[in-house]
Each structure stands twice: as C-alpha cells, then as structure tokens.
Amino acid sequence: MNILHVSAVKSWGGGENHIENLCNELHQISPSTQNSVLCLKNGLFHKKLQNSKISFETVSIDFKMDLRFCFKLISICRKQHIDLIHIHDSTALTLCIMADHLYNLPPFVFSKKTTFPIRSRKQTLYKYNYKKIKKILCVSEATKAITATNVNDPSKLVSIYHGTKVNGSCSTEAINIRDQYEIEPLKKIIGNIANHNWPKDLDTFINVANNLINERGIKNLHFIQIGNYTTETPDLIKKIEKFNLSEHITLTNVIPNASRLILQFDISLVTSKSEGVPQFIYESFLNKVPVVSTNVGGISEIIEHETNGLLATAEDFMKLADHVVLLLENSELKERFVNISYNEVREKYTTEMMAKKTLQEYKLVLHGK
C-alpha cells in the first residue's frame, strides 16, 4: 500500500505533528505500508521533515491555486504508483481536486482537524463533497457533528482522536525555561503552546495574566507562550506592554520539540475559541501537568470538568483565572487530575491507536467500502 500525505501548510502545528506521528506509527505497525509526504518547500514542515526518516518531496508555490503543486502531485502519483492520497488541510484539498481534473488520481482520504463549519457556498460544498473523497477522518466527535451538517454522505465521516506518542515523549528538555528566560525559582509557570492564530485566542491568555497579576495582585506567576509568530504577534506584544506585563509574560516564538518543555509548566492553560482537540492537551496529560481550558470543539470529550481538569466558556478570562488559582491552592486536586489524565491518555489517546484506526480506514477505502 503506497500512501501519499499531502500538506499545503507553511507553518508547523498540530496538523503537521499529526502527519509526522501517523507516518512513524504506520511504519511500526505496518512496514509494508509505504508513506511519503508532499509539502511546501522551505516551510517549517519541510525543515522538520529534513530531520526525520520520513520520505518526502517538496514544491514551491506563490499562491493558493498554483498549478505547480498539481503537476508535482501528478508526477509523484505516476512515479510512486500511489494507491491513496491522504489530504491534511483545506488548501491541499483544493489543489488535489484541481490535479484530479488534469489526471485521474487515486482515491482521497481527508482529515478534518478543526471544528470550523463547512460554509454553505456552492464552491465549498463542491470541494468537501467531491467524488474522490471516500473518507473524512474527524479529529473529534464535535468535528464530526459539525462536518455532517454540510456533507451529503455522513457515512463517510469517521472520528479518530490523534492522541500523543507515549514512548519517548517525555525526554530531557532541550532548554531550561527558568534559566533561558530568567524566571525566578519561586514563580509558578503557566504555559501555553500554540501558533499565533485567531482560533487560539491568545488575547484571552493575556487577559488571564492581567487579571491574576494586576487585578488580583498575585505576583508569583510567569506566563510563557510558545508558538509561531504571525501577523497577529505585534498586537499581542502591544497588549502585553499596555498591561505592563512584559516581566510576567514571555512569548518565545517557535521552539523545536516544544512539547519537551511541558514538564516545566505548573499549569497548562488553553484559551482557544475554536479547536478540534489540541495536541497540547494530550501532551500535558502525558507529562502530568494539569490543564485549565476553554470548553470548545472536542475538548470536553477528553476533559471532564472537575474530574480531570477545569473548563470555562470561551473568552471568560475571569473564570479561567479562578481555575488557575484553584489549582495553585489545591495540591490534592491537582494530583488527582494529573493521575486520571495520565492514565486516560495512555489507555485511550495514543498515536499507535490513531495509526491502527487510520490504517483500517485506508484498507476499507482500497477495498471499496
């Protein structure tokens, strides 16, 4: 079985981490399944793949519907005798459909990794209901439910949690956060890993810090945010300066293998207003770091409020701040949360489980089911 994974994303995030984990796990559980990746040249994903054992090819594009991507895709399918194309983002889906109009490509499997609804526009509906898409793999039940509203054949939808790699994920950190960013030893570290995109709502992350430090006067906290800078970053920096929080909030930009640093967090704080299920939560579970999060997308499917974490509605920075204080003051609650979450991630949410379920769907597609 020859699988081509197609990505048209320039950055590195949870979706690209999913592709890397999936290819590596498929190699372990099914060595006869050959996986290769087509990605954008000189993007962060390309740079990450250069340090992996995953087979990949790249292509340069100047705009979203650049035909060079299509011709490269067709060339790979011909040369490598690709049996199935696994598409990992909406731009890649557009390009694959364009290529299919030029050359009869193998069947498609599409991964829906967000809870953004499919817009009721003719072009968008055509894309997500394209005849070559045999399965849509949804990152959560919430994603599946939202996607079903605008998909003609809901039987194509399958929910598969991405999970995290349980072996080797908790390796020694690349850097010591306190030393690197001059964080005082007695300060508690509230951490977040997310690229600077609107769904991650890092404005709320800053609002939580402002509420705790300036409004409640809790000074023994340091907020650290790890993620790719974007056009949104300057506004975030201005907001931090406006609240006089420069000594209490650190934005690091991208750090390779950032998940290795989660062990140094006292609390993981997720402030997203739209999600499938963030990889950061799985990795926090594995590293036994308690999670305070907004209740969006599929997050409530893996965090039960007051059982293995604390949830608040999107943008409710005061309730999120309350939850942070509760965990800081209640070590028994924190211990209970992390033990339950640690056991659950190992029992239910591993990349090995994700790969086995995905492989099963590949086989069903190739057998016409």
Asked whether residue 115 falls in the same domain as residue 249, the answer is no
pLDDT in tens, 69-113: 999 999 999 999 999 999 999 999 999 999 999 999 999 999 999
CB 79 within 8 A of CB 4: no
Kindly give, in sequence order, each residue whose CB lies less than 8 Å from that of residue 41, ignoring residues fewer than 6 positions away: 58, 59, 60
Asked whether residue 330 falls in the same domain as residue 357, the answer is no
CB 243 within 8 A of CB 214: yes
Question: Closest by alpha carbon to 251, among 185, 192, 204, 173?
Answer: 192
Q: Does 12 fall in a domain?
A: yes
The size of the chain, in residues, is 369
Asked whether residue 8 falls in the same domain as residue 130, the answer is yes
Q: Does 169 fall in a domain?
A: no
| pLDDT for position 173 | 52
Q: Does 170 fall in a domain?
A: no
Q: Does 171 fall in a domain?
A: no
pLDDT in tens, 260-290: 999 999 999 999 999 999 999 999 999 999 9
Asked whether residue 321 falls in the same domain as residue 331, the answer is yes
Asked whether residue 232 falls in the same domain as residue 281, the answer is yes
Strands (E), 233-319: 249-251, 267-270, 291-294, 310-312
Could you give the percent of the chain with pLDDT greater than 70? 98
The one-character DSSP state at 121 is: -
Per the DSSP assignment, residues forming a β-bridge with 38 are 6, 57
Domain range enclosing 52: 2-163+350-366
- Mean pLDDT score of the chain, rounded to an integer? 95
Q: How many domains does the chain contain in total?
A: 2
pLDDT in tens, 328-362: 999 999 999 999 999 999 999 999 999 999 999 99
Asked whether residue 211 falls in the same domain as residue 144, the answer is no
Asked whether residue 146 falls in the same domain as residue 277, the answer is no
Residue 140's domain is classified under what CATH number? 3.40.50.2000
Per the DSSP assignment, residues forming a β-bridge with 309 are 305
Question: Closest by alpha carbon to 9, among 128, 93, 132?
Answer: 93
Query: How many C-beta atoms surround the C-beta of residue 239 within 10 A?
Result: 16
Asked whether residue 268 falls in the same domain as residue 292, the answer is yes
Q: Does 338 fall in a domain?
A: yes
Question: Closest by alpha carbon to 195, among 147, 229, 223?
Answer: 229
C-alpha 369/C-alpha 134 separation (Å) is 9
Asked whether residue 119 falls in the same domain as residue 235, the answer is no
Q: Does 334 fall in a domain?
A: yes
Specify the pTM: 0.92
Handedness of CA 168, 20, 351, 366 (dihedral sign): negative
Angle of CA points 251, 252, 253, to nearest 5°: 105
Asked whether residue 277 falls in the same domain as residue 188, the answer is yes
Torsion of CA 61, 62, 64, 68, to 10 degrees: -40
Asked whether residue 68 falls in the same domain as residue 217, the answer is no
Asked whether residue 356 falls in the same domain as residue 339, the answer is no
pLDDT in tens, 45-57: 999 999 899 999 9
**132 backbone dihedrals φ, ψ, rounded to 5°:** -75, -15
Q: Does 168 fall in a domain?
A: no
CB 208 within 8 A of CB 271: yes
Q: Does 150 fall in a domain?
A: yes
